[in-house]
Structure 1
């Protein structure tokens, strides 16, 4: 069986007190957890200084460079220490720590695959966000000829580290809000099998510490430009994508719950 050493990688930018709650939950999984502070200026690094765990490691970027940049920074450091897979999670309490073990187990069985969370929304999810992501999902599946990206924007994903590094080094983009959809498409172009795992998602209220870095005009403009670029890449790759067949692990997708 190939070597399989996964870790949880959490990029964080001005997440506030909810970061501590997120880490308290994630550390209960008893797996390696790395936090990458992306130039945070809100004092949140101080909030976790007293956390003592042999599983926790904290890295920092001096200035805010974007989620994709923070993931890339942590990814490179993790690979130098022999980790083979990274499970990216948001720091704001949206992603369920109790699913970590399931992501790891599926990855151990299929180490060649990327495991993408398929969000299961509850009543806390803003309708604008739920419906708006359908547009990006449509384009991502067109750009990959239906390789199997159930949700192009959801941030709880487990990646084979070498494949993620390869696709990120193949582009100067995918460094900010365009990180998840762009790497999803590029992993599909690379032929990385994708398994979609139904995953509950929460949107904590502001009074509970919930915070969002999403900016409607800025980030939708970024996504529009991204899909224009990716459509050009799709056109160049179309003959190859047409001939190569379907996602070989499509049948391994767990049923919706």
Structure 2
């Protein structure tokens, strides 16, 4: 077996909340392609924290951190980022624990990041036939707003959480305000990092929506999470208006290169 790739700068970070037994397969798959892999268990009540800790006890390339209460995806990612920064890591590839994201793409995304360290590498989903149509169509609205809010600086997809982030600017962005702690994390991170001058690099990646009989678990709530996204884009549009002159100068600079 080919050993997983490794650097002293990049790690895989997986937030997990009540993901069920599927999280073990996700972690094993990630470990096949990269080391280290860190998992932040976000107050799970399904017993997987214990199972993951047992896996980590026999695997020096895996670390598991357990938060006592559920705080949201963004909060779990931030917790992991802060620990990673203190350990000397500069970049983190985030992926979900529900089996939607392709572990096999980890080396490609990491190599892309290492080639342009000041950029973020954003996954652009390639959907299979089982993808829920409402989710596929609905994300187009969020993508349109994210591109408006950045004057089309290049966000290929605002919601897909399979990404490589530079840790330091993302931590600064998150500490500067109290949002981005739940389902709003992924799109707001992409927009605010663009505002800070972190350019996006888009890479295609497949996405799989697993059925319940395949072990799939979804915590998406159509009304709650779309209301959260609506409020998020309202905030971002206000921020966009304040930053419009700077964004225009940046866009004009790109055109005249």
> How much has 1:47 moved relative to structure 2?
2.5
Gaps (5+ residues) in structure 2? 1-6
Q: Quote the residue 2:10 is aligned against.
A: 6
Please tell me whether the aligned partners of residues 34 and 106 of structure 2 are also in contact (alpha carbons under 8 angstroms).
no
1:80 paired residue number: 86
User: What are the superposed Cα offsets for residues 58-93 of structure 1, whole Å, 9 maximum, x if unpaired?
Assistant: 001110000000000000000000000000000011
Q: Which residue of 2 aligns with 1:179?
A: 185
Q: Report if aligned partners of 1:4, 1:111 keep a CA contact under 8 Å in 2.
A: no
**How many residues get paired?**
246
Secondary structure, aligned partner of 1:10: strand
2:54 aligned partner: 50
1:152-231 matches, within 5 Å, as: 152-231=158-237
Deviation of residue 124 (structure 1)?
1.7
Q: 1:60 is paired with a residue of what secondary structure?
A: strand
Does the alignment pair 1:110 with 2:144? no
Runs of at least 4 residues of structure 1 off by over 3 A?
none
Q: How does 1:11-26 map to 2 (within 5 A)?
A: 11-26=15-30
What is the 5 A alignment of 1:228-239? Answer: 228-239=234-245
- Tell me whether 164-173 or 87-96 shows the greater mean CA deviation: 164-173
2-side partners of 1:171 and 1:181: how far apart?
15
Matches of 2:252 and 2:33 in 1, distance apart? 34
Q: TM-score, normalised by structure 2?
A: 0.93
Match of 2:144 in 1: 138
Query: What is the RMSD computed on CA atoms of the aligned residues?
Result: 1.4
**Closer/same/farther in 2, CA of residues 4 and 197 from structure 1, 3 Å limit:** farther
Displacement of 1:246 in angstroms is 6.8
Q: Which residue is equivalent to 1:67? A: 73
Distance 1:49 1:131 in 2: 38
Cα distance change, pair 184–247 in 1 and its aligned pair in 2 (3 A): farther
Q: For 2:118 and 2:87, how far apart are their aligned partners in 1?
A: 19
